[in-house]
Amino acid sequence: MRRHLIAWLAITLCVALISSARAEEWGGVVPGKSLKFQVRERFGAPTREVTKTIEGYNTSEWFYEQARAPEGIGQMQVQFGLLTPQGFNPNIVRALTLNPRPGVFTLEDILSGWGKPDRVGAEQEKGRRVFFYQSGLVVLFEKGDQHAETLLFTPPQAEAPPR
């Protein structure tokens, strides 16, 4: 009985550690895991698409604007192309950026939904507060800290950026 309890505790601890390293997601899109076809299935065709070459890799960005943006979002940008241990994959989501309409994500909503940030900083130019989460979320607030202006979802980060 004791051996089973120890084994159960060990498995529970492993599952907890693995799940704590998961990427933040929004709208079913998980940076570092979701693929282009999944984004298209979920949100349809983008309003516009831009292709770029970054460090020798061909990447693409999809923009969902106005009527094609999710409800409450002014613009959603999905960046594709990620260097993985298996090599570069042009179809995997690298980052998801949301520019919500004013009042959609308040400071309280962010803290309630994602918890206390791993680090808090300030944007140099405008002095706006920035929340950094190692799970892969960066939140930029409008001046006054009442509403989130930009939410950037990325794969999990090794550590929060320096102050």
The tens digit of pLDDT for each residue in 87-132 reads 999 999 999 999 999 889 999 999 999 999 999 998 767 778 899 9
Is the pTM for the entire model greater than 0.85?
no
Are 79 and 63 in contact by the 8 Å Cβ rule? The answer is no
The tens digit of pLDDT for each residue in 5-38 reads 223 223 222 333 333 345 678 899 999 999 999 9
- The angle at the Cα of 79, spanning 138 to 162, to the nearest 5 degrees, equals 30
Give the pLDDT confidence score for residue 23 in this predicted structure.
62
Name which of 66, 81, 61, 146 is nearest 109 in CA terms: 146
In whole angstroms, give the CA distance from residue 109 to residue 163: 24
Give the pLDDT confidence score for residue 68 in this predicted structure.
92
Give the pLDDT confidence score for residue 4 in this predicted structure.
31
Give the pLDDT confidence score for residue 53 in this predicted structure.
93
Mean pLDDT of the residues in the chain: 83
Residue % of the chain over a pLDDT of 70: 82
Ramachandran bin of 119, using left for φ above 0, alpha for ψ from -120 to 50, beta for the remaining angles? beta
Q: How far is CA 2 from CA 7, 15, 16, in A?
A: 9, 20, 21
Q: Which two tokens stand for residue 38?
A: 């999944």
Question: How many Cα neighbours within 13 Å face the side chain of 123?
Answer: 17
Q: How many residues does the chain have?
A: 163
Mean pLDDT, range 41-50, rounded to an integer: 96
Q: Higher confidence at residue 159 or residue 61? A: 61
Give the pLDDT confidence score for residue 159 in this predicted structure.
66
SS3 156: coil
